[in-house]
Amino acid sequence: MTDEEMTLVLGGTGKTGRRVAARLAERAVPVRIGSRSADPPFDWERPATWAAALEGAASVYVTYQPDLAVPQARAAIAEFTEAARRAGVRRLVLLSGRGEEEARRCEDVVTGSGLEWTIVRASWFQQNFSESDMLGWVLDGALVVPAGRAPEPYVSADDIADVAVAALTGDDHLGRVWEVTGPRSLTFADVAAEISAATGREITVIEVPVERYSQALIDAGVPPEAAELLTHLFVTVMDGRNAQATDDVRRALGREAGDFADYARAAAASGVWDVPGAGR
């Protein structure tokens, strides 16, 4: 791809999308943000918005909301991939989920599309604890999780963005599946200990039986659909299938993946975990 060609970044205001868009802009690559609030808007639930967002794009960073694990994801990815092909897009970089069977079916759509492609198959994000619903758990001082979950090698959203940008702007990653993780696996107790050390506050872990977890989330104010999806992800991808870390960040970028401890220190320094009246 050349620097003059435009890249559409779907989810361009989200955890990885905004990082990808910022890195492309730093390289003077023309970027269009794909979101419902953008001009033109992009909405996964309104296919009529896709053509305008795709116009003039040579490459697309594809993230699906809410998650590739939901039943409608494969059909949406298939329809979007065909729309991209008709619009003259040459390259797709898909953010996928590690250990998700539903996500693999979406990957198959992209890899079989006839377009240039790279799959960035990621473990759970470190930033889930500071940039999404889990932030509330940290502020409340307790991670509320299903019992018996296996360790997870949480990956930095910055590493995901760096791999995605490399795939969008260079040819070395074409036809590759990068399974990106952090350098070590952590239990929820490990995560709580790392955040406690970074914040100077005690963060505990509350384990809820798996069969009661979805209802516990709903009782805490999480919308039912979101509670069901979160429970599904916890129960499936944290059953041990993803406990082993990979070295794909190093292989893709030539440097080591960011460690959770470094992320926790940076997040704490940013003030996102500050609680009014609590000492540091």
At the topology level of CATH, where does 6-124+156-181+243-257 sit? Answer: Rossmann fold (3.40.50)
What is the structure's pLDDT at 226?
A: 85
Q: Is the pLDDT of residue 35 over 80?
A: yes
The pTM assigned to this predicted structure is: 0.95
Per residue in 47-105, pLDDT (tens digit) is 999 999 999 999 999 999 999 999 999 999 999 999 999 999 999 999 999 999 999 99
For the chain, the three-class secondary structure string (H helix, E strand, C coil) is: CCCCCEEEEECCCCCCHHHHHHHHHHCCCCEEEECCCCCCCCCCCCHHHHHHHHCCEEEEEECCCCCCCCCCHHHHHHHHHHHHHHHCCCEEEEEEECCCHHHHHHHHHHHCCCCEEEEEEECCEHHHHCCCCHHHHHHHCEEEEECCCCCECCECHHHHHHHHHHHHHCCCCCCCEEEECCCCCECHHHHHHHHHHHHCCCCEEEEECHHHHHHHHHHCCCCHHHHHHHHHHHHHHCCCCCCCCCCHHHHHHCCCCCCHHHHHHHHHHHCCCCCCCCCC
Instruction: Report the pLDDT value the prediction gives residue 3, as an integer from 0 to 100.
Output: 53
